[in-house]
A and B are shown apart, each in its own frame.
Chain A
C-alpha cells in the first residue's frame, strides 16, 4: 500500500487548508510540519468520557421505562432481564440493600459473605456506568446507543438496585442525586503504595509508594518447618489439556502426560475431521459467543436453526446470505451483526455444519 495514496493525500491537504483558512496557524515549533490542529468537531466526536464530577456529561434524559425498553431489546440477552445476568456474563445488579444506600458501604463486602460481587456492589461512581455503557455497549455494536438511551439504561439499572424510584427520569442535573445514593460510594480506598504518581499529600493519589507487605531476605534457618498450605486439586491438573504437549520435547525436563491415555511415541496430531474443523472455525470466529449448539444464548441455538429450516431446499443459500449481511426479526429483536470479516468459503462450511447438526466430531 502506498503511503501517499491519492485519496488520503488530497484528504489531508483539504483538511489542512480548511484549518488554515479557519484562521488557526499550524504550530511551527521544534517538530515543524508534524501533526496538525484538531478541530472542535473532531474533539467533540471522540471526547466522550465522563468524570466522577460529571465533567464531560452531555445533557439529555431517559426514564426508567424508556431504559427498560432498550434493555429488553439490546442488553437483556446477555445481562438478564433484571441485570441478574445469565450464563453469558456475571451479574450487574444484586447484593446491595437499602441500608447500603444509606451508609454508602456494601455490608456484604465487609462481612465477606457475598457469593459473588455484582457490578453495583463494587462501583462507587455512577459516572462510570454512564461512560462505559456509552462507549462500549452493546458488546457487538459499541457506540450505537443514543445519548438519551444511555440515560434511560442507567436509570433502569439504578431502579433495579432500588437507588431511584420507578418513575425516575435521569438527566444531567439530577444524576448527582443518584450519585449520593450509590450503595458503595464510600467503598473505595486510595490509601496504598501502588500509584506511580504524586501522593495524596501533594494533590495526587495514595501514600507515595510505601509498600504494605514486608519480607526480609533471610538466608539460612529461616524457619523450622515447611508448611504446605495448598496442593494442586486433581481436577485442575487435567483441566488444562495434556501438559506433555505444552512443553518442549527436548531439554532437561518433559511435560507430564495428563491426557489419561498411554502415548507411546509423540505422534503427529491427526488432521481435524470436517465437523471438528467447522466447530473450531465457529469457535474462532466468535459464533459460539451468541449461539449454543443445543441452546439459545443471545441468538438461536443451532438445533433451533436446524428445526426452522428443515426441508427447505434453499436453506443453505438463505443462511449464507444472512450470516454475511446480518439479519433481524426472525428470532426476535436482537440483530445478528453482519459477519463480513469471514471468507465466503468459511461461511458456507459453517452453514453446512450447522444444518448437518453441528456435531463436534
Chain B
C-alpha cells in the first residue's frame, strides 16, 4: 500500500480509519479540535519530514504520483473486471450468530457504501436454503404443468435455449427478504445499515413474462388461481404465487441481471422475479411451475415466513413488502469528519408501486423536510433520495419516512408494534433512526 495516498485533497487532511476508542472518548469529552490535531500529527509523521510543504501546497499535487509518471496496465489484464483494491471494505457479510450453518444462511449487501439504485451483482444479498449451486445451463429444464390435466392444454418442458428464444422484457425491481430488519423488531440489535437493512438489492432483470409461457401451454385462466414455483437446488424450495400477479405481466422467468446472466448465487440460469413480493417467492434455479387452484402451504409458507401476532395467531401468506425507506449515509457505525455540509442520502421502496415522496427529519421526527427524489422512479423498485444538511456539531437524530403512490406512509416503531407486537420476525418496515453525537459518531437507535 506504499502508493496509497495518505492525505485527502484538502490541505487540511481528514481522518483515515484510525479513531480508537480513546480518541472517540476524547471527542465525546468535548475536545472538538481533537480530530484535526490528531490527524495533522499523523499525516506529518507519515509524510516523513515534509511538514514544511504545507506552506506551498498539497504534496499530492506538487509531487507527481507514480500513476501519473509511469505506464499503466494493459487491456484485458483482468478479463472480468474487478473493483479497485481500495474498495475492499464493501463486501457482503454474514451477521455472526444469526444462523446455524453457512449453507442455510444470509449475507447482507453493504448499503452503507452504494450509490444510486442498482446493486452490483457481486454485492447482491444472498439467502440460500440448502447451499447455492452452479447449474450447467445445457442440462437445466423448466417444466410447466397443472395440478390436474384441465389447467393447461399442453404441459411443456423448456430448455434454457427455448427460454432465451422467447421475446424478453427488461425491468428494474427491488428484492427484499421478508425478514429484512427482522433482528430489530424488539430492540436495536445490529450496528450498521448493512445488517439492519442489507437483505435488500435492486437489479435490472431480463426475462420472459410467465404469462407468455403459460399461454404457450394453453392455460385456462378461469380455472387457474395460483402457481407453485420450485427450484432445482437441494432444497427445491417452493412458494405459492397468485395468478393475478402473473396475469398482470409483472412476474418474469428471468435469466438476465444487470446486463449479464444471473449469478449462481442469484439463481443461474433461471429465477422467478415477483415484483413487490418478498425475496423468498423469487424462486432461484427455477425448474418447475405448477398451475393449480389452491395454495400449497409449503414449508416456507407454513413454518417459516409466517408472522406471529400478539394474539398468538400467525399470519400466513404475507407476501407484499410494504413501503419502507432508510438513510444509508450517514448511517450507523459511521463517523462524520467535521461540522458543515453533508448530503443525507438513502433508499425508498414499496411493494405496492412507485415512491411518491420521502421526508427527512434531523431532530428525531419533530420536524420534517421533503427530500429530493432522484430519477428514475420505477414501480416496485429502489428509489434514491437526497437532501442537504448542514451539521452544526450538535446531537441529532436522522430519520426518513417514505410515502408510496397508494398514499401509504411508512410507520414508526410505536405504530407498528401497537398492531403487530414485537415477535413477528418478518415485515418490519418501521422508520429507522440514526443518532449523531457531538463527536460525529452515528449509531443505531429506535425512536417511538
Chain A interface residues (CB < 8 Å from chain B): 1, 3, 5, 8, 12, 24, 27, 29-31, 34-38, 42-43, 46-47, 49, 51-53, 55-56, 88-90, 105-107, 109-112, 117, 119, 122-125, 127-128, 131-132, 135-136, 139, 142-143, 184, 187-198, 203-206, 209, 211-224, 226-233, 236-237, 239-241, 243-258, 260-268, 283-284, 286, 289
Chain B residues contacting A284 (CB-CB under 8 Å) are 102
A182: shortest Cβ distance to chain B, in Å?
11
Residues of B within 8 A of A262 (CB): 18, 20, 22
Once bound together, how far apart are the Cα atoms of A76 and B445, in whole Å? 41
User: Are A124 and B89 CB-contacts (below 8 A) given A213-B419, A219-B367?
Assistant: no
The reply to whether B445 and A232 contact each other, CB–CB distance below 8 Å, is: yes
Q: Are A196 and B245 in contact (CB under 8 A)?
A: yes
Q: Across the two chains, which residue of chain A brings its CB closest to B152?
A: A38
* A/B interface sample: 27 pairs, CB < 8 A: A34-B158, A37-B155, A38-B155, A47-B290, A49-B296, A51-B297, A89-B100, A136-B237, A142-B130, A143-B234, A194-B317, A194-B427, A196-B276, A204-B225, A213-B418, A232-B443, A246-B93, A247-B89, A248-B90, A249-B16, A254-B335, A262-B18, A263-B20, A266-B16, A267-B1, A283-B102, A286-B102
List B residues 410-447 near A (Cβ within 8 Å): 410-416, 418-420, 423, 427, 433, 435, 441-447
Q: Is the CB of A31 within 8 A of B216?
A: yes
- Give the docked Cα–Cα distance between A222 and B397 (Å): 15
List B residues 330-353 near A (Cβ within 8 Å). Answer: 330, 332-337, 342-343, 351-352
The A interface, classified by DSSP as helix, strand, loop or mixed, is: loop
**CB distance B225 to A38 under 8 Å?**
no
B366/A226 in contact, CB under 8 A: yes
Minimum CB distance partner of A39 in chain B: B157
The complex places the Cα of A221 from the Cα of B319 at a distance, in Å, of: 35
Name the residue of chain B whose CB is nearest to the CB of A56: B147
Partner of A136, one of B236, B294, B310, B415: B236
B222-273 with Cβ < 8 A to chain A: 225-226, 228, 230, 234-238, 241-245
A135-B235 contact in complex given A236-B188, A253-B336, A289-B101, C-beta closer than 8 Å: yes
Contact B145 A240, beta carbon cutoff 8 Å: no
From B93, B303, B312, B444, contact of A232 by CB (8 A): B444
Q: Which residues of A contact B236 (CB under 8 A)?
A: 135-136, 142-143
Number of residue pairs A-B, CB distance < 8 angstroms:
408
State whether A253 and B330 are in contact (beta carbons under 8 Å apart), knowing that A204-B242, A214-B411 are contacts in the complex. yes
Give bound CA distance, A87 to B20, whole Å.
36
- Would A209 and B320 count as touching, CB distance under 8 A? yes
A245 near B17: Cβ-Cβ < 8 Å: yes
Asked if A256 contacts B89 (CB within 8 A), the reply is no
In the bound assembly, the distance between CA atoms of A222 and B412 in angstroms comes to: 12
- Nearest-neighbour CB distance to chain B for A319, whole angstroms, equals 22
Q: Which residues of A contact B368 (CB under 8 A)?
A: 217-220, 222
Chain A residues near B332 (CB-CB < 8 A): 232
Contact A38 B157 (CB under 8 A): yes
Which 6 A-B pairs give the minimum distances between C-beta atoms? A197-B242, A110-B312, A226-B364, A244-B17, A243-B333, A109-B312
In this complex, which of B86, B153, B234, B410 has the most chain A Cβ atoms within 10 angstroms of its Cβ? B234
Chain A residues in 8 Å Cβ range of B322: 194, 211
Instruction: Encode contact with A along B58-96: 1 for CB under 8 Å, 0 otherwise.
Output: 000000000000000000000000000011011101011
**Among residues 100 to 115 in chain B, which have CB atoms less than 8 Å away from a CB atom of chain A?**
100-104, 110, 112-113
Q: A196-B320, A226-B447 are in contact. Are A256 and B441 (CB under 8 A)?
A: yes
Known contacts A31-B166, A49-B296, A217-B403; decide if A189 and B218 are in contact (CB<8 Å).
Answer: no
Least CB distance from A40 to B in Å reads 9
CA distance A300 to B320 in the complex (A): 44
A246 and B294 contact, Cβ closer than 8 Å, known pairs A38-B144, A212-B420 = no
A257 touches B299 (CB 8 A): no
Interface residue? B302 (CB, 8 A): yes
A134 to chain B, nearest CB (A): 10
**Quick one: which of A24, A49, A209, A213 contacts B420, CB cutoff 8 A?**
A213
Which of A51, A55, A214 has most B Cβ within 10 Å? A51
B192 proximal to A (CB < 8 A): yes
Given that A34-B158, A194-B320, A246-B93 are contacting pairs, would A109 and B308 also be in contact in the complex, using a CB cutoff of 8 Å? yes
A214: contacting residue among B87, B241, B242, B409, CB under 8 A:
B409
